[in-house]
């Protein structure tokens, strides 16, 4: 039991539990650079699987990948007022290009060479709208060049004082899509299409149910006309914004002079969208499914989907179970499954179970001498339950178990979310809910930012999303939660990461 106890229980301290799960699963670690994390191979493999799935969806909808510079001239940020406002306080700026030896010793042995100051400082990209639209101005001439649908996989830097692994780090990985369209309808359709892709990915791959909808003006992206988001509810009843898709209007097109000649021969500004998901998704995956024994990884994103643990006492038995384990591994791999055979002879089976459980491997096959004789293996699920499985047709049995787990994780997460959603409640009850146990509170909103700010002040909760029709309450709220005036839109409130 010693290993399981390395993870503090969720009920005791959710935040410490989260860190312990990451450490035990070896997903990431703190780095010598404050605010920056190291993504370890197990965590990076999850990211690669996420990338592969998303990238295929982007390409299937006509997007292509490209790569733009890490550095952005400072003056570019000044061109779109709201945008510079939004990112000014968390920027990393390159001002010099050289170090020089000082002749001193220790840390003082080198210093920035003052003679190497850049004429114009460079901002390390916090997001790439400005540099990308500067290029679009060059590439887009005619309506025939539209739509332009690009995506880049990259790192970005937003200076953070507080670090939370995967959730809040100074440097993180993401994809950012940037598109240009001839008209508003094209941009709006694109922003919604991407929101749909994000939702599908969250639900079908991460088994993480999400609400979709628009952000309020005070929560939208700096420089956007409209921001759409997917929002998930974590096990501590706090919301996680898991992806955003922005309809940028013509703000950036005007700032960067991205114009095209229409079919009629006139000049017009393009309409843009930008959209992104980040390595924060891994944090969402952890907090949606995992338990006090460690990570629970949805099968479709598990670095290893099946681990085979052979059990033996004598050398003869060892030979038998390893041979059989190897054959089963080959059979499963032939079906495209990610399988490991844990043949280590320095570790007892029980210790191996704990280790693979902490790492979130969905299915474990235990093969002992008696199983060899009986032509079976014990199939244990990370989510609970253990039963013998015939070796004949084992690949099909394992595939079915993985698919069932994938679906069950989504169902369980959706049930939990709905159990922690509050609808149709009065003001005091909602405020108490938001200050206390938490969850998604659905309530009427008059649309006035003053009410939004007052509720935030009173509870520290924010409007996560103005939900799309399918998520709205059967009976629309009639009055604003705060001021009691007529409600113009339903809003979902929650504490958030
Ligand atoms: Zn109001």
Got the DSSP string for 440-485?
EEEEEE-S-HHHHHHHHHHHS-EEEEEE-GGGS-SS---B-TTT-S
* List of long-range contacts for 261-269, beta carbons under 8 Å, 24+ apart: 261/141, 261/142, 261/143, 262/143, 262/182, 263/143, 268/182
Residue 406 covered by a domain: no
Ligand 1 centroid–CA 421 distance in Å is 21
Same domain, yes or no: 231 and 336: no
Residue 475 covered by a domain: yes
CATH number at residue 445: 3.30.110.30
Same domain, yes or no: 315 and 438: no
Q: Is the predicted pLDDT of residue 268 greater than 60, yes or no?
A: yes
Same domain, yes or no: 66 and 151: yes
pLDDT-derived band of residue 5, with 50, 70 and 90 as boundaries? low
Ligand 1 centroid–CA 327 distance in Å is 66
Q: What's the pLDDT at 89?
A: 87
Ligand 1 centroid–CA 235 distance in Å is 30
Ligand 1 centroid–CA 218 distance in Å is 14
Same domain, yes or no: 277 and 312: no
Q: What's the pLDDT at 232?
A: 98
Ligand 1 centroid–CA 464 distance in Å is 16
Work out how many domains the chain is built from and give that number: 3
What average pLDDT does the segment 73-90 reach? 85
User: Is residue 297 within 8 Å of 360, Cβ to Cβ?
Assistant: yes
Residue 182 covered by a domain: yes
Same domain, yes or no: 211 and 323: no
Q: Residue 100 to residues 94, 104, 249, 388: CA-CA distances in angstroms?
A: 16, 11, 47, 68
Same domain, yes or no: 199 and 121: yes
Which of 289, 320, 345 is the last residue in one of the domains? Answer: 289
Domain coverage including residue 343 = 304-401
Q: Residue 108 to residues 33, 95, 99, 116, 139: CA-CA distances in angstroms?
A: 19, 19, 11, 18, 47
Give the predicted TM-score (pTM) of the model: 0.96
Of 96-100, 158-162, 310-314, the poorest mean pLDDT is in: 158-162
CA 252 to the chain's CA centroid: 26
Ligand 1 centroid–CA 472 distance in Å is 18
Ligand 1 centroid–CA 86 distance in Å is 25
Same domain, yes or no: 170 and 62: yes
Q: Is the predicted pLDDT of residue 3 greater than 60, yes or no?
A: no
Q: What is the CA radius of gyration of the chain?
A: 26
Which of 352, 372, 401 is the last residue in one of the domains? Answer: 401
Same domain, yes or no: 166 and 233: yes
Beta-carbon neighbours within 5 Å of ion ligand 1: 446, 448, 451, 480, 482-483
Ligand 1 centroid–CA 214 distance in Å is 18
% of residues, the chain, pLDDT over 70? 99
Which of 227, 255, 289 is the last residue in one of the domains? Answer: 289
Residue 383 covered by a domain: yes
Q: What's the pLDDT at 2?
A: 44
């Amino acid at each position: 039991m010693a290993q399981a106890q390395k993870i503090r229980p969720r009920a005791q301290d959710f935040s410490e539990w989260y860190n312990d799960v990451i450490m035990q699963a070896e997903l990431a670690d703190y780095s010598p650079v404050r605010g920056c994390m190291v993504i370890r191979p197990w965590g990076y493999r999850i990211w690669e699987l996420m990338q592969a799935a998303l990238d295929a969806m982007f390409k299937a909808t006509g997007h292509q990948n490209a790569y733009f510079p890490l550095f952005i001239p400072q003056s570019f940020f000044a061109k779109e007022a709201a945008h510079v406002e939004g990112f000014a306080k968390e920027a990393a700026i390159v001002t010099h290009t050289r170090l020089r030896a000082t002749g001193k010793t220790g840390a003082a042995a080198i210093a920035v060479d003052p003679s190497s100051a850049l004429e114009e400082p460079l901002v390390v990209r916090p997001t790439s709208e400005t540099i990308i639209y500067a290029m679009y101005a060059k590439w887009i001439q005619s309506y025939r060049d539209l739509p332009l649908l690009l995506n880049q996989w990259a790192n970005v830097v937003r200076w953070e004082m507080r670090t939370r692994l995967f959730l809040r780090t100074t440097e993180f990985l993401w994809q950012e899509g940037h598109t240009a369209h001839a008209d508003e309808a094209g941009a709006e359709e694109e922003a919604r299409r991407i929101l749909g892709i994000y939702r599908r990915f969250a639900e079908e791959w991460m088994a993480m149910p999400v609400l979709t909808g628009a952000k309020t003006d005070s929560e939208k992206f700096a420089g956007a006309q409209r921001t759409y988001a997917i929002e998930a509810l974590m096990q501590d009843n706090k919301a996680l914004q898991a992806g955003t898709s922005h309809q940028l209007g013509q703000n950036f097109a005007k700032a960067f002079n991205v114009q095209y000649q229409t079919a009629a021969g006139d000049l017009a500004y393009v309409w843009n969208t930008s959209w992104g998901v980040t390595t924060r998704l891994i944090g969402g995956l952890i907090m949606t499914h995992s338990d006090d024994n460690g990570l629970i990884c949805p099968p479709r994103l598990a670095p290893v989907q099946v681990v085979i643990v052979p059990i033996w006492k004598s050398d003869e038995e060892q030979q038998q179970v390893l041979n059989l384990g190897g054959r089963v591994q080959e059979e499963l791999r032939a079906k495209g499954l990610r399988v490991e055979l844990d043949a280590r002879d320095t570790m007892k089976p029980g210790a191996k179970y704990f280790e693979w459980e902490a790492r979130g491997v969905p299915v474990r096959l235990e093969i002992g001498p008696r199983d060899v004789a009986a032509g079976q293996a014990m199939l244990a699920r990370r989510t609970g339950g253990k039963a013998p499985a015939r070796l004949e047709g084992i690949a099909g049995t394992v595939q079915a178990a993985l698919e069932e787990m994938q679906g069950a994780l989504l169902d369980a997460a959706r049930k939990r979310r709905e159990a922690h959603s509050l609808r149709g409640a009065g003001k005091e009850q909602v405020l108490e809910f938001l200050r206390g146990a938490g969850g998604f509170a659905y309530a009427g909103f008059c649309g006035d930012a003053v009410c939004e700010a007052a509720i935030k002040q009173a509870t520290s909760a924010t409007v996560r999303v103005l939900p799309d029709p399918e998520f709205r309450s059967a009976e629309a709220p009639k009055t604003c939660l705060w001021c009691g005036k007529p409600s113009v839109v339903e809003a979902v409130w929650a504490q958030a990461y």
